[in-house]
Every structure is written in C-alpha cells, then in structure tokens.
Amino acid sequence: MPAESGAISRDEVAHLARLARLAVTDEELDVFAGQLDVILGSVARVGEVAADDIPPTSHAVPLENVFRPDVRRPGLSQEQALSGAPAAEDGRFRVPRILGEEQ
C-alpha cells in the first residue's frame, strides 16, 4: 500500500474515486491527493513505534467467540424498512442504475 512510502499518487486517488463511483475533477484530485498524503503520513507514524514483534491490532479488546443462538427476533415491517428510503417501488428500494457494472 502507498502508506509505506508516505505518498499517494494522483492516479491512485483517481482509481479510488472510480471504485467509489465519485466524479472527481482534476483540481479535486490534486487537493485530495495532498490531503490523503497528510493523513497517511500521520497514520504511518505508528509504524515507527511498532516493532516486528508487535502484531497488527484489529480489535482493541481481547474477546473471541461472541455468538448468538440461531433464534429469530422481530425485525422491521416492509413499510418501516422502506420508510427511510429516498425512493421505493413495489415494496423494494429504488436506486439509480449502476453504470458499467453487472454482478
């Protein structure tokens, strides 16, 4: 990942923007590349104190195996589920078509 070198290229920002389907202008690319660089640089400072014998941490609390029994719990009605949707049709969430993708 680019964090190692502490620099994120303009192309990488453009690629990330495409993955997130964000329309980013050329000027914005310059601005974001600079800003992201600062953020990555700050985070990279952690690496300065983390020695090889310290494994990367994903969870702050040492917990394992938290499970729930396979028992049903009441959820939302269709009306409740769709109540926050900007658009709905036939009981379904309505979204703009996604360009260039087919799952």
Partner 1 sequence: MTAPVLVDYADVVARYEPTLGLEVHVELSTNTKMFCGCPTEFGAEPNTQVCPTCLGLPGSLPVVNRTAVESAIRIGLALNCSIAPWGRFARKNYFYPDMPKNFQTSQYDEPICVDGYMDVTLDDGSTVRVEIERAHMEEDTGKSLHVGGATGRIHGAEYSLLDYNRAGVPLIEIVTKMIPDTGGRAPEVARAYVTQLRDLVKSLGVSDVRMDQGSMRCDVNLSLSPTGSGVLGTRTETKNVNSLRSVERAVRYEMSRQAGVLDAGGEIVQETRHFEEQSGTTRAGRRKETSEDYRYFPEPDLVPIAPSAEWVEELRGTLPEKPWERRARIQESWGLSDEELRDLVNAGALDLIEATVAAGAPAGEARSWWVAYLTQQANTRGVELDQLPITPLQVARVVALVASGDLNNKLARQVVDGVLAGEGEPDTVVEARGLKVVSDDGALIAAVDEALAAQPDVVEKIKSGKVQAAGAIVGAVMKATKGQADAKRVRELIIERCT
The residue whose two tokens read 């309505």 is 94
Task: Please name which of 10, 5, 2, 6 lies closest in space to residue 30, comparing C-alpha atoms.
Answer: 10
Contact segment (CB under 8 A) with partner 1 among 25-33, 34-42, 43-51, 67-75 equals 67-75
Where would I find the H helices in 20-65?
26-44, 46-49
Q: Which is nearer to partner 1, 29 or 82 (CB)?
A: 82
CA atoms of 83 and 98, how far apart (whole Å): 23
23, 48, 77, 86: which one contacts partner 1 (CB under 8 A)? Answer: 77
Q: Which is nearer to partner 1, 53 or 74 (CB)?
A: 74
Contact segment (CB under 8 A) with partner 1 among 24-32, 35-43, 45-53, 77-85 equals 77-85
- Enter the tokens of residue 39: 């953020």
Q: Which is nearer to partner 1, 52 or 75 (CB)?
A: 75
Q: Which residues bind partner 1 (CB under 8 A)?
A: 19-21, 58-59, 61, 63-78, 81-82, 84, 89-98, 100-103
